[in-house]
Chain A
Amino acid sequence: MLLKIKNLDCRRGNKLIIANVSFNLKSGECLILKGPNGSGKTTLLRYIAGLSTNNLLNDNIAYSGHLDGVKSTLTVQENLKFWSGIYNTNNMANVIKTLKLNDFQNRIAGELSAGQKRRLGLARMLITNAKIWLMDEPTVSLDKTTTTLISEIITQHCKEGGAAIISTHVNLNLPSSKVLDISEFKPEIDKEFDPFLEGVF
């Protein structure tokens, strides 16, 4: 069991966005978060990543948000070497091969296309050697080839014992995936608590 979430409430600012979320994440599983825009998928992912709270839920986490996390004035190799140093891993050569970045190794990241930049961002996830991947719309505005590549990499990651929580509108054809519809956890209006609205006259 990699991750246990029980009765979680998530807030954006003071406003309660989702209430009473519970789920378990086992090794090898893919959890797909579905729901309309604004329903709280990003909020939930950021919470689990440890960005919106003071306590980290789990050490073994890699988070990929809307932005790529790529320094555009460094080369591909320099970008990845940096993350290798941070996470103290040495699988860089393999990662570059897996994500088909061999041809661009010495290219300045700012000159890459959007798809190539996204692959570079994904390479970071692989370099971290983290078990749990949190991905917020990883394939938005990417072409079919790149999307397939990303699906394959996620599948491989889960097969090797990792897990992923992914928010997406696209069908990624991931085996062994559960779906969690976030809109089911929308709090009822009168359960929302905002200290400033008490006793509003």
Chain B
Amino acid sequence: MWPLILRDIRLALRSGGGFVLTLAFFLIVIMIVPFGVGADLGLLSRIAPGILWIGALLSCLLSLDRIFQLDWEDGTLEALATSPIPLSGIATAKATAHWLTTGLPITLASLPLGYLLNLNHNSYFLLLTSLAIGTPALSFIGTFGAALTVGVKRGGLLLSLLILPLYIPTLMLGAQSMSVGTNNPIELLALIAAISFMCIALLPFACAIALRANLK
């Protein structure tokens, strides 16, 4: 599985600037929030957790439809499907590569962006942790959506419609864990971790079913 992860990272870095584009998008989304809601620091501070998480979500969405699409178009997906690696392994590898090139950079970039939104000082650690634990779920759910829509031309919009509802639990818990009024963020972090683990463990099999249906 490692060759596939490394190959996908190399491909992501080589075409379209890789994670730089994702980070630029994250920055732009965060930047336009004050333009939309006003620069009142108190307000920004209150909505910062949610905005950061939503920005992370949307930035993850960007690169999702390419996960399988490019391989589908040049025949590599079929070649991989006939290789010793099972389809679920392929899905896991691609989701991992996606997280390494999207989820991880987003997690790290969230810190300075949180400062732009006047995030409460005590929340930085929770911001980092909740994103670090929650973005794997986003990558794996996104990979599932990509597996569903790989055969659809211009399936990006459909992909977003399918997986944004699936992102809701992670988003709710993630933003909530960072909010000022929360008494026990550790409990919420544990729940986020549970969702992520469930996604990592089970979704690859769902991906395999979807890929097999599309390859027929």
Chain A directly contacts chain B within the complex, with at least one CB pair under 8 Å: yes
Spell out A's residues near B (CB within 8 Å): 49-52, 54, 59, 61-74, 78, 82, 85-88, 121, 124, 128
- Assembly CA distance A54 to B4 (angstroms): 22
B85 pairs with A86, CB closer than 8 A: yes
- Assembly CA distance A183 to B64 (angstroms): 42
Q: Specify which of B4, B10, B75, B215 is in contact with A86 (CB 8 Å cutoff).
A: B4
Q: Tell me whether B35 is interfacial, beta carbon within 8 Å.
A: no
A65 pairs with B78, CB closer than 8 A: yes
Could you say which residues of chain B place their CB within 8 Å of the CB of A73? Answer: 11, 14-15
Q: Tell me whether B166 is interfacial, beta carbon within 8 Å.
A: no
B84 pairs with A54, CB closer than 8 A: no
Residue of B nearest to A134 (CB): B82
Q: Specify which of B2, B7, B79 is in contact with A69 (CB 8 Å cutoff).
A: B79
Could you say which residues of chain A place their CB within 8 Å of the CB of B153? Answer: none
Could you say which residues of chain A place their CB within 8 Å of the CB of B212? Answer: 54
Chain B nearest CB, measured from A76 CB (Å):
14
Q: Tell me whether B182 is interfacial, beta carbon within 8 Å.
A: no
> Count the B residues whose beta carbon is within 8 Å of the partner chain — how many?
23
Residue of A nearest to B75 (CB): A67
- Assembly CA distance A88 to B84 (angstroms): 10
B78 pairs with A70, CB closer than 8 A: no
B82 pairs with A51, CB closer than 8 A: yes
A69 pairs with B10, CB closer than 8 A: no
Q: Tell me whether B83 is interfacial, beta carbon within 8 Å.
A: yes
- Assembly CA distance A69 to B75 (angstroms): 4
Q: Tell me whether B40 is interfacial, beta carbon within 8 Å.
A: no
- Assembly CA distance A92 to B84 (angstroms): 18
Q: Tell me whether B216 is interfacial, beta carbon within 8 Å.
A: yes
Residues A49 and B82 in contact in the complex (CB < 8 Å), given A54-B212, A69-B76, A86-B4: yes
Residues A71 and B84 in contact in the complex (CB < 8 Å), given A78-B10, A82-B7: no
Chain B nearest CB, measured from A155 CB (Å):
23
Residue of A nearest to B79 (CB): A69
Could you say which residues of chain A place their CB within 8 Å of the CB of B4? Answer: 82, 86
- Assembly CA distance A73 to B11 (angstroms): 7
B79 pairs with A74, CB closer than 8 A: no
**Nearest 3 Cβ contacts at the A-B interface:** A67-B75, A85-B3, A69-B79
Could you say which residues of chain A place their CB within 8 Å of the CB of B78? Answer: 51, 63, 65, 67, 69
Residue of A nearest to B215 (CB): A51
Residue of B nearest to A68 (CB): B75
Could you say which residues of chain B place their CB within 8 Å of the CB of A63? Answer: 78-79, 82
Q: Tell me whether B132 is interfacial, beta carbon within 8 Å.
A: no
Residue of B nearest to A110 (CB): B74
B7 pairs with A65, CB closer than 8 A: no
Q: Tell me whether B47 is interfacial, beta carbon within 8 Å.
A: no
List, sorted by A's number, 19 A–B pairs whose CB atoms are closer than 8 Å: A50-B81, A50-B82, A51-B81, A54-B212, A62-B82, A65-B75, A66-B75, A67-B78, A68-B74, A69-B75, A71-B76, A73-B15, A82-B3, A82-B7, A85-B2, A86-B80, A87-B83, A88-B84, A124-B79
Could you say which residues of chain A place their CB within 8 Å of the CB of B73? Answer: 67
A74 pairs with B81, CB closer than 8 A: no
- Assembly CA distance A66 to B82 (angstroms): 15
- Assembly CA distance A64 to B2 (angstroms): 23
Chain A nearest CB, measured from B211 CB (Å):
10
Chain B nearest CB, measured from A44 CB (Å):
14
Chain B nearest CB, measured from A9 CB (Å):
15
Could you say which residues of chain A place their CB within 8 Å of the CB of B216? Answer: 51-52
- Assembly CA distance A121 to B3 (angstroms): 18
Could you say which residues of chain B place their CB within 8 Å of the CB of A124? Answer: 79
Chain A nearest CB, measured from B74 CB (Å):
6
Chain B nearest CB, measured from A102 CB (Å):
22
